[in-house]
């Protein structure tokens, strides 16, 4: 550990027995248990909100979350000599959810439903007196999905215009142009279907009831420990439609399992065994899955990168997004009875 990182730990009223470096962070063995020191991913303004959400989960019977630790000054972030901001968080001895093990995937699905039941901002505000400081700001609110889809559609057309005008084209550019019309047509169809759906009422209801989401719920952020499942890295939390988390987790798993229908159905059943979904939420998941997000994301990454050299991995990602589209649409038809 570098000197200024050791200096950061000295700002805390804890006894550190030893440290272990991992990618982008340090495990710290302390008398209070394992902790994690890493560069802060939230602003000083949002840090108290993050603390409040996680502390509430702890007090509400969900202890295994990576709650930030206050330093001697009472702050949730600490600054090193070089000006870098750090956050020290509770951590857990365990391993990430194994995406190859169906049992663990289903456990993680149930765990997500349990989190959603407890992540209600109004209820947290009602317990505000339990905390030392008055929270005067609210969690951020997620953007309306229609606005997201329309923005993605515009960006796809921008990438096409750029590639068309490019004199020297490679494998990525030719592949993108070959499949653009199919993918863009699909994107427009999903956007129109969204506008005719019940999503708007679901979104408005979620905002009014201040329902919060994890914001980055994937198998990397679910740890299996001796004390049960731990959920980590809530830095992207916000008020939004809660099944956004379920859609994201389902998509990440399904991409690893070639859209295997039985597993996808089991994940939905596992979640609904804890928190049943209404027709609007199921339609929302289907619409998000139907949108060619991976095709858009890969193209957008290309557009904002150094286009003089396109990594082979980017070509592979684009090809995967294209080839999995048919499997995904079959999955939607059989699991959600969803057709465009």
Residue 132 has pLDDT above 60, yes or no: no
Provide the strand spans (E) within the chain.
Answer: 16-22, 25-30, 33-39, 78-79, 85-90, 94-96, 212-213, 222-225, 228-231, 238-239
> pLDDT by residue (tens digit) across 297-332?
999 999 998 776 777 889 999 999 999 999 999 999
Rounded average pLDDT over 255-259 = 95
- How far is 239 from 209, CA to CA, in rounded Å? 9
Would you tell me how many other CB atoms lie within 10 Å of the CB of residue 101? 12
Rounded average pLDDT over 151-163 = 97
pLDDT bucket at 20, cuts 50 / 70 / 90: confident
- How far is 38 from 87, CA to CA, in rounded Å? 6
pLDDT at 11: 94
pLDDT at 127: 61
What residue has token string 């979104």? 203
Residue 274 has pLDDT above 90, yes or no: yes
CA angle 142, 146, 147 (to 5 degrees): 65
Average pLDDT, the chain: 92
pLDDT bucket at 21, cuts 50 / 70 / 90: confident
> pLDDT by residue (tens digit) across 37-54?
999 999 998 999 999 999
> What's the pTM?
0.93
pLDDT at 175: 97
Rounded average pLDDT over 240-258 = 97
Residue 80 has pLDDT above 60, yes or no: yes
Of all residues in the chain, the percent with pLDDT exceeding 70 is 94
Rounded average pLDDT over 281-300 = 97
Q: What is the dihedral of CA 252, 258, 259, 261, to 10 degrees?
A: -130
Rounded average pLDDT over 179-196 = 98
Residue 134 has pLDDT above 70, yes or no: no
Residue 182 has pLDDT above 80, yes or no: yes
- How far is 82 from 76, CA to CA, in rounded Å? 18
pLDDT at 291: 98
Residue 264 has pLDDT above 80, yes or no: yes
CA angle 151, 156, 162 (to 5 degrees): 125
Rounded average pLDDT over 193-221 = 97
Q: Would you say how long the chain is, in residues?
A: 340
Would you tell me how many other CB atoms lie within 10 Å of the CB of residue 110? 18
Do 51 and 44 touch, CB atoms closer than 8 A? Answer: no
Label residues 298-330 b or e (16+ Cβ within 10 Å = b): bbeebeeeeeeebeeebbebbeebbebbeebbe
Q: Is the domain defined by 145-336 classed in CATH 1.20.1050.10?
A: no
Architecture of domain 3-91: 2-Layer Sandwich (3.30)
Rounded average pLDDT over 160-187 = 96
C-alpha torsion sign, points 119, 120, 125, 126? negative
pLDDT at 136: 56
Q: What is the dihedral of CA 329, 102, 23, 80, to 10 degrees?
A: 90
pLDDT at 135: 53
- Residue 61: DSSP 8-state: T
What residue has token string 């890295």? 233
pLDDT at 4: 54
Domain definitions of the chain by residue range: 3-91, 145-336
CA angle 84, 90, 96 (to 5 degrees): 100
Residue 2 has pLDDT above 70, yes or no: no
SS3 call for 6: helix
Shortest CA distance to 300 belongs to which of 130, 159, 148? Answer: 159
Query: Looking at per-residue confidence, does 22 or 108 come out higher?
Result: 108
Three-state helix/strand/coil letters over 299-313: HHHHHCCCCCCCCHH
Do 67 and 49 touch, CB atoms closer than 8 A? Answer: no
pLDDT at 334: 96
The string of DSSP codes covering 172-232 is: HHHHHHHHHHHHHHHHHHHHHHHHTSSHHHHHHHHHHTTBEE-S--SGGGEEEETTEEEE-
pLDDT at 124: 76
């Amino acid at each position: 550990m570098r000197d200024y990182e050791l200096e950061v730990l000295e700002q805390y009223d804890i006894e550190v027995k030893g440290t272990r470096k991992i990618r982008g962070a340090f495990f710290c063995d302390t008398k209070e248990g394992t902790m994690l020191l890493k560069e802060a991913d939230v602003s000083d303004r949002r840090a108290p909100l993050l603390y409040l959400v996680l502390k509430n989960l702890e007090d509400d019977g969900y202890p295994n979350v990576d709650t930030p630790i206050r330093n001697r000054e009472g702050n949730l972030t600490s600054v090193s000599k070089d000006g870098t901001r750090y956050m020290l968080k509770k951590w857990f001895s365990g391993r990430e959810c194994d995406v190859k093990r169906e049992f663990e995937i289903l456990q993680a699905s149930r765990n997500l439903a349990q989190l959603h039941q407890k992540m209600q901002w109004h209820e947290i505000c009602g317990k505000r007196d339990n905390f030392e400081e008055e929270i005067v700001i609210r969690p951020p609110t997620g953007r309306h999905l229609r606005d997201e889809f329309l923005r993605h559609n515009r960006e796809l057309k921008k990438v096409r215009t750029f590639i068309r005008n490019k004199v020297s084209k490679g494998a990525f550019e030719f592949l993108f142009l070959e499949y653009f019309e199919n993918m863009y047509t699909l994107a427009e169809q999903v956007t129109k279907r969204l506008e005719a759906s019940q999503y708007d009422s679901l979104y408005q209801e979620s905002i009014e009831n201040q329902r919060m989401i994890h914001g980055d719920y994937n198998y990397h952020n679910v740890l299996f420990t001796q004390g049960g499942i731990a959920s980590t890295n809530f830095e992207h939390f916000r008020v939004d439609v809660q099944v956004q988390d379920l859609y994201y987790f389902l998509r990440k798993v399904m991409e690893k399992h070639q859209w295997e229908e039985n597993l996808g159905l089991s994940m939905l059943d596992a979640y609904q065994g804890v928190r049943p979904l209404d027709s609007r939420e199921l339609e929302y998941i289907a619409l998000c899955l139907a949108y060619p997000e991976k095709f858009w994301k890969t193209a957008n990454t290309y557009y904002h990168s150094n286009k003089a050299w396109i990594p082979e991995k980017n070509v592979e990602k684009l090809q995967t997004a294209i080839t999995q589209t048919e499997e995904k649409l079959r999955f939607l038809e059989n699991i959600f009875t969803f057709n465009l």
